[in-house]
Structure 1
Amino acid sequence: MGKEMVVYVLSDSIGETGEQVARAAVSQFNSGKYNIKRFPYITEEEQIIEIFNEARNENCIIIFTIVIEKLRNFILENAKKYNIQAIDLMTPVIDAVKNVVGHEPKREPGLIRKLDEKYFRKVEAIEFAVKYDDGKDTRGIKLADIVLIGISRTSKTPLSMYLAHKNIKVANIPLVPEVSPPKELFEIAPKKIIGLTANPIKLNEIRKERLKALGLSNTASYASMDRILKELEYSEKIMKKLGCVVIDVSNKAVEESANIIMEIIKENNLLKV
């Protein structure tokens, strides 16, 4: 039996891709033992020199996923110097993509990890918006990046979901005259609360359409002007008491209202990430 083969995996990120490729390749052979040594976050030539000082005495190959050109060339130079096979996994693929898209790559390490993290933050924010929608669980008030409050049909849920797709955790709370607002609203910073209001005539139209969609009579008190005015008066009183920003969503698309909210978030530095 020959000397154990060592596969050195070098990466300017975590090195997971290189290791998976190495294991997939080695699995095609039944002869002898092998050992995989992963070296993540390679950013300096000194690190590469240390690895080659060890590798030159081993029965080995080097697999690397390095996008920084200077380091890639340094690895290839040392591989030639010590007569070690070095496989560059990234360059052939990057060159092929470059030929198709017609512009140069960023050559920035760890981009795929950053994209994955962004995706999972978005999923988490969407799940949060669903869980803490319409005051279902008031514990979300203290966990949220922002809290939307307003009477029925002021776009609380659509705004929550739109903002969730921007990685913002949103809880929304309906304001109803017969129900006291949750105490948690008064225990967070007013800058985290956004009040939503709308023109009563517009609300009257929206609520009538809502009742029609549900197969109910549009004469129900929910859509009556008296009821809407009572709710708006109540919500205005609560918003003043809280001292929060108020946005009139009457003639605004969800995207427009969301952009205003995102500016408020940015100005007040409300995001935790």
Structure 2
Amino acid sequence: MEKAIIYVVSDSVGETAEFVTKAALSQFMSENDYDLYRIPYVENIEVLRGAVYHANQLGAMIGFTLVNPMFREFLIQEAKNKNVECVDIMGPMLQAMERKFKKRPKQEPGLIHKLDEDYFRRVEAIEFAVRYDDGRDPRGVQQADIVLIGVSRTSKTPLSQYLAHKQLKVANVPIVPEVEPPTSLFEIPSHKCIGLRISPEKLNDIRKERLKSLGLGDQAAYANVDRIASELDYFNKIIHQLGCPVIDVSNKAVEETANIILNMINQPYWDLHDNKANE
């Protein structure tokens, strides 16, 4: 069976059209059964004409969110002429609201994602958290607002993402006895490095469940009590060297730990722009 092909067309980013289209597709097929191509920031009719042409050639359908009424009308008519299935995702809602509120829409693309300073900071922070996750690039340590350190399965990654949505650049570094932490970890202000401590019993339970989810036995070294004790001893040694704050995450949800960190950041001594590397 050939893959279904769907074009998503928008005079903005196209996120709304893609989300709705994927939600509808999930009722018919898995992600492996279709190819979706986004055509964002449409500024002229020729782009629309080209989209319809390719859709016709490939037997594809089109879903679109166009706030420009001229673009909407052209795309609908062009698709009709070429016998291409074309769905206006936003138009009916705009028309209904126009009738209900008795006023014309602003017809400005992308208002829901107004690219203000806060939006840019949030996107940048999220990208930062992904790029410098799990110590994959030690350069992130010196650029981060916060560096989370802890042994495996202390929720470093989800916590990094949660804080990124608060516009904080977060790097995280796993602490493993066989691997020396990056030297940059010892060069940043100690209060910007936050240790995530966990009880050996809790960590043992979490790791056993993790192994089970992977179809592995819970007797692997990863969940071995002696191995866990060794890792936590090494973690405590590193924390002592850094002299950084520590949060016990044994019985805390990610949101709870994040709120503790956000409260710490509000303390007078905290300066997101202070960095020893720049002194």
Q: CA RMSD in A?
A: 2.3
Q: Give the letter aligned to residue 202 of structure 2.
A: K
Q: 1:120 — aligned with what?
A: 120
Give unpaired runs (5+ residues) of structure 2.
1-67, 69-97, 103-111, 274-279
Q: 1:138 — aligned with what?
A: 138
- Indicate the SS of the match to 2:179: coil
Q: Give the letter aligned to residue 128 of structure 1.
A: F
Q: Distance in 1 between matches of 2:154 and 2:240?
A: 17
Q: 1:196 — aligned with what?
A: 196
CA deviation after TM superposition for structure 1 residue 151, in Å: 0.3
- Indicate the SS of the match to 2:247: strand
What pairs up with 1:58-207 in 2 under 5 angstroms? Answer: 116-207=116-207
Q: Distance in 2 between matches of 1:148 and 1:251?
A: 17
Q: 2:257 — aligned with what?
A: 257
- Indicate the SS of the match to 2:153: coil
Q: Distance in 2 between matches of 1:134 and 1:226?
A: 23
Is contact 1:168-1:271 (8 Å) kept? Answer: no
CA deviation after TM superposition for structure 1 residue 116, in Å: 2.2
Q: Give the letter aligned to residue 270 of structure 1.
A: D
Give the structure with higher Rg (CA): 1
Q: Give the letter aligned to residue 195 of structure 2.
A: G
Q: Give the letter aligned to residue 191 of structure 1.
A: H
CA deviation after TM superposition for structure 1 residue 216, in Å: 1.3
Q: 1:270 — aligned with what?
A: 271
What pairs up with 1:241-252 in 2 under 5 angstroms? Answer: 241-252=241-252
Q: Distance in 2 between matches of 1:221 and 1:139?
A: 30
Q: Give the letter aligned to residue 119 of structure 2.
A: Y
TM-score after normalising by structure 2 = 0.56
Q: Distance in 1 between matches of 2:115 and 2:256?
A: 26
Identical counterparts, % of pairs = 65
CA deviation after TM superposition for structure 1 residue 213, in Å: 1.1
CA deviation after TM superposition for structure 1 residue 115, in Å: 6.8
Q: Distance in 2 between matches of 1:238 and 1:149?
A: 9
Is contact 1:150-1:173 (8 Å) kept? Answer: yes
- Indicate the SS of the match to 1:247: strand
Q: Distance in 2 between matches of 1:202 and 1:250?
A: 6
Q: Distance in 1 between matches of 2:118 and 2:160?
A: 18
Q: Give the letter aligned to residue 155 of structure 2.
A: S
CA deviation after TM superposition for structure 1 residue 149, in Å: 0.4
CA deviation after TM superposition for structure 1 residue 114, in Å: 8.3
Q: Deviations over 1:78-110 (max 9, x none)?
A: xxxxxxxxxxxxxxx9xx79xxxxxxxxxxxxx
Is contact 1:148-1:171 (8 Å) kept? Answer: yes
Is contact 1:132-1:172 (8 Å) kept? Answer: yes
Q: Deviations over 1:120-176 (max 9, x none)?
A: 111110000000000000000000001000100111111100000100000000000
Q: Distance in 2 between matches of 1:261 and 1:141?
A: 17
Q: 2:232 — aligned with what?
A: 232
Is contact 1:133-1:157 (8 Å) kept? Answer: yes
CA deviation after TM superposition for structure 1 residue 256, in Å: 0.4
Q: Distance in 2 between matches of 1:200 and 1:134?
A: 21
- Indicate the SS of the match to 1:219: coil
Q: Distance in 2 between matches of 1:164 and 1:174?
A: 18
- Indicate the SS of the match to 1:181: coil
Q: Give the letter aligned to residue 149 of structure 2.
A: I
Q: Distance in 2 between matches of 1:200 and 1:116?
A: 45
Give unpaired runs (5+ residues) of structure 1.
1-23, 25-92, 98-111
Q: Distance in 2 between matches of 1:115 and 1:271?
A: 23
- Indicate the SS of the match to 2:116: helix
Runs of 4+ in 1 over 4 A off after TM superposition: 112-115
